[in-house]
Amino acid sequence: MEERYYLNDKLYLQNGITYLETNTKSIQIQKHNWHRYLSDIGWRKFPRKWITELNKRMINKQKNSLYGILSCPGDGDCLFHSIANALNESQGFMSYYTGKDIRKEISDSISKDTFEMIIECYRAMKDACDFHESWDPHKITDISQFKKCLCEGGHEYWGDSLLIQLISSHYDVNVLILSNEMGPYPMMTEYCYHKPTICLWFDDNHFELIGHFDGEKMISYFSLLPDEIKRLYNL
Local confidence band at 1 (pLDDT 50, 70, 90 cut-offs)? low
Between the alpha carbon of residue 10 and those of residues 16, 20, 31, 215, the distances in Å are: 16, 6, 18, 18
Q: What would the mean pLDDT of 130-154 be, rounded to a whole number? A: 87
The answer to whether residues 93 and 5 touch, using CB atoms and an 8 Å cutoff, is yes
Residue 72 belongs to domain with CATH number:
3.90.70.80
Dist. CA 155–CA 29, nearest whole Å = 37
Look at residue 46 and tell me whether its pLDDT is greater than 90: yes
Local confidence band at 160 (pLDDT 50, 70, 90 cut-offs)? confident
- Comparing 154 with 208, the larger pLDDT belongs to 208
Q: What is the pTM of this model?
A: 0.92
Tell me how many domains the chain contains: 1
Q: Which of 49-53, 130-134, 147-151 has the lowest mean pLDDT?
A: 130-134
What domain range is 160 assigned to? 5-232
Q: Which of 34-38, 66-70, 73-77 has the lowest mean pLDDT?
A: 73-77
| b/e per residue 155-168 (b: at least 16 CB within 10 A) | eebbbeeebbebbb
Dist. CA 211–CA 175, nearest whole Å = 13
First to last CA, the chain: 38
Dist. CA 126–CA 131, nearest whole Å = 5
Q: Which amino acid is at 206?
A: H
- Comparing 152 with 231, the larger pLDDT belongs to 231
- Residue 164: CA count within 13 A, CB half-sphere: 21
Q: What is the pLDDT of residues 161-217, one digit of tens each?
A: 889 999 999 999 999 999 887 677 777 778 999 999 999 999 988 999 999 999 999
